[in-house]
Amino acid sequence: MIPLLDIYKERWQVASDTAIKPGLASIEQALKILGSPEKELKVVHFAGTNGKGSTLTFVEAMAREYSLSVGKFMSPCVVDVHDQIQINGVNITAQQLDSIFQQLHECGLSGKLTDFELLTVIAFVFFKQQHVDLVLLEAGMGGRVDSTNVVNPIVSVITSIALDHTNFLGTTLSSIAAHKAGIIKQGRPVVLGEVPQEVQFIFEKEAQIKNTSIEKYGREFIVTFTAQGETYTHIKKGFSFEQLSRQFLGPHQGKNMALAITAFLQVLQAFDLPVEALKINQAISKAKLSGRFEQVLPNVYFDGAHNPASIEMLVQTIQQQFPTQRIEFIVGLLADKDVDSILTMLEQVSETFYFVDIDNPRAMPAQQLLEKSNAIEKSIVSNVGTLLQMPTKNEKVLIVTGSLYLLSEIRQKLTLL
Task: List, in sequence order, every residue forming a beta bridge with 192; answer none if it has no partner.
Answer: 158, 216
pLDDT digits (tens, 9 = 90+) for 332-366: 999 988 999 999 999 999 999 999 999 888 899 99
Cβ-based neighbours of 397, under 8 Å, separated by 6 or more: 299, 300, 301, 318, 322, 325, 326, 327, 328
**302 and 265 assigned to the same domain:** no
Tens of each residue's pLDDT in the chain, 417 residues: 788 999 999 999 999 998 888 899 999 999 999 999 999 999 999 999 889 999 999 999 999 999 999 999 998 888 899 999 999 999 999 999 999 999 999 999 999 999 999 999 999 999 999 999 999 999 998 899 999 999 999 999 999 998 776 677 788 999 999 999 999 999 999 999 999 999 999 999 999 999 999 999 999 999 998 777 899 999 988 889 999 999 988 888 999 999 999 999 999 999 999 999 999 999 999 999 888 889 888 889 999 888 898 999 899 999 989 999 999 999 999 998 899 999 999 999 999 999 999 988 889 999 999 999 999 999 999 888 778 877 666 678 999 999 888 898 888 777 644
Is there a contact between 289 and 54 (Cβ–Cβ < 8 Å)? yes
Kindly report the CATH number assigned to the domain that includes residue 401: 3.90.190.20
**226 and 349 assigned to the same domain:** no
Cβ-based neighbours of 264, under 8 Å, separated by 6 or more: 58, 59, 62, 63, 280
Task: List, in sequence order, every residue forming a beta bridge with 157; answer none if it has no partner.
Answer: 46, 191
**361 and 246 assigned to the same domain:** no
**25 and 116 assigned to the same domain:** yes
**252 and 370 assigned to the same domain:** no
3-class state of residue 167 by DSSP: helix
Q: What is the pLDDT of residue 166?
A: 64
**277 and 332 assigned to the same domain:** no
Q: What is the pLDDT of residue 251?
A: 85
Helix, strand, coil share (%) of the chain residues, nearest 5: 40, 20, 40
Is there a contact between 417 and 369 (Cβ–Cβ < 8 Å)? no
Cβ-based neighbours of 26, under 8 Å, separated by 6 or more: 112, 113, 114, 117
Among 257, 286, 315, residue at a domain's last position:
286
Q: What is the pLDDT of residue 382?
A: 87
pLDDT digits (tens, 9 = 90+) for 190-207: 999 999 999 999 999 999
**275 and 396 assigned to the same domain:** no
Q: What is the pLDDT of residue 211?
A: 97
**272 and 352 assigned to the same domain:** no
What residue numbers bound the domain in which 117 lies? 5-286
Among 229, 264, 286, residue at a domain's last position:
286
**269 and 317 assigned to the same domain:** no
**123 and 214 assigned to the same domain:** yes
pTM of the model: 0.90
Kindly report the CATH number assigned to the domain that includes residue 265: 3.40.1190.10
pLDDT digits (tens, 9 = 90+) for 59-77: 999 999 999 999 999 988 8
Number of domains in the chain: 2
Report the half-sphere exposure of 399 (CA within 13 A, side-chain side).
29
**108 and 64 assigned to the same domain:** yes
DSSP state of 235: T
Alpha helices in 2-72 (DSSP H): 5-11, 25-33, 52-65
**237 and 312 assigned to the same domain:** no
Return phi, psi of residue 59, to 5°: -65, -40
Among 261, 286, 311, residue at a domain's last position:
286
